[in-house]
Amino acid sequence: MQGMKRFDARKAVLEALIQKGLFKEVKENPMVVPVCSRSKDVVEPLLKPQWYVRCAEMAKMAADVVRNGDLKIIPETHLKTWFNWMDNIRDWCISRQLWWGHRTPAYFVTVSDPSVPAGEDADGNYWVSGQTQEIARQKAAKKFNVSPDQISLRQGEPCGIPLTGVFSLQTDDLKAFYPGTLLETGHDILFFWVARMVMLGLKLTGKLPFKEKSDYPDGIPECGTDALRFALCAYTSQGKAAVVLLGDAAFTPHFPSLSPCRNVAATQISRV
C-alpha cells in the first residue's frame, strides 16, 4: 500500500482484514477531527525526519559567560531559569513543516551514476550542506566520487532560524552593529531566543551579541515615574506575570505625584 492515498488505504486495509478472516466488527467512535483552517483537509500526525542543532557545547559556553560575569542578566532573579535551561539543554529542533520561511542550507543528493544506489530522505549520508548550491554540489561530487554534472540537489524544508544568513559573517553591517552592549527584552523569551542568540553568537563569531540583558531598565517613557511605580506595585497582587495596560489612569503622566505622600510619610515617621 506504499504510495496509496490515506483514505484509499483505509478501505484497502479493511478489505484485506475481511479477506484474511481477521475482521471482527465495526463500532461508532465519536471523536474530534482536526481540520486545516485553510485547505479544509483533515489534519493527521505524520512522523518525519527532523533537523536538529547540537546544543551541548554551545549551552555550556552560554552558561559559563554568565557565571564568569561576561554576560549580566538583570534582575538576577532570572539566573536560576537561565542555568536550569543551559545546564539541562537538549538538541534544538529547527525543522518547520511549512512552505515558507528560511530554507535549510542542506541538500538531498541524487546521483545519475547507476553505480551509486538511490538514497532515502532519512539517510543522513545523502545530505550535504553548503552556503550555495554550487558549494553543496562540489561537496556531493567529492563525497560520492562522481562528476558534479551527475549531481542533482533538492533543498531541505524551511527551518526555524535564518541559518542561510549566518554563513556570510564578514559584512559591513555586522562589523558596524555587532556586538551590541545591551539587550532589553522580556523574561518570557529568556530561555528561548535570548539564549539562542547567545549560543549562536559565541559559536559563530566568538563574541557575545550583548553584555547585559535587562527587563525595562529605564522604565516606560509614556508613564510618569511615580505613577509607574505605584501601578506596578498594585499589579503585584496578580503575580509576577501581570498584564500592564497603559490606558489605566495610574499609568498616565497626569497621575498625581506621589512625592508629597512620601514626604508626609517620612515626616511622620521621623516624629515617632
What pLDDT digit, counting tens, does each position of 134-182 carry?
A: 888 888 888 888 777 776 767 766 665 544 455 456 677 777 777 788 8
Return the half-sphere exposure (C-beta side, CA atoms, 13 A cut-off) of residue 209.
Answer: 16
Task: Identify the pLDDT of residue 24.
Answer: 92
Cα 54 versus chain centre, distance: 14
Render each residue's pLDDT in the chain as its tens digit; 272 residues: 888 988 899 999 999 999 999 999 989 999 999 999 999 988 888 888 888 889 999 999 999 999 999 888 888 888 999 999 999 999 988 887 777 767 778 888 888 877 777 877 777 788 888 878 888 888 888 888 877 777 676 776 666 554 445 545 667 777 777 778 888 777 778 888 888 889 988 888 888 888 766 655 566 666 667 767 777 777 666 666 666 666 664 555 555 555 555 555 555 555 55
- Residue extents of the structural domains in the chain: 106-156, 225-271
Query: Integer distance in angstroms from the first to the last C-alpha of the chain?
Result: 89
List the beta bridge partners of residue 35: 42
Of 26, 27, 72, 19, give the one whose Cα is nearest residue 194: 72
Assign 3-class secondary structure to the chain.
Answer: CCCCCHHHHHHHHHHHHHHCCCCCCCCCCCCCCCECCCCCCECCCCCCCCCEECCHHHHHHHHHHHHCCCCEEECHHHHHHHHHHHHCCCCEECECCCCCCCECCEEEEEECCCCCCCCCCCCHHHEEECCCHHHHHHHHHHHHCCCHHHEEEEECCEECCCHHHCCCCCCHHHHHHCCCCEEECCHHHHHHHHHHHHHHHHHHHCCCCCCEEECCCCCCCCCCHHHHHHHHHHHHHHCCCCCCCCCCHHHCCCCCCCHHHHHHHHHHHHHC
Other C-beta atoms closer than 10 Å to the C-beta of 94 total 18
Task: Identify the pLDDT of residue 252.
Answer: 53
Q: Which residues contact 180 (CB under 8 A, 6 or more apart)?
A: 209, 210
Whole-Å CA distances, 65 to 78, 82, 186: 15, 11, 20
| Dist CA 54 CA 157 (whole Å) | 18
What pLDDT digit, counting tens, does each position of 104-141 carry?
A: 788 888 888 777 778 777 777 888 888 788 888 888 88
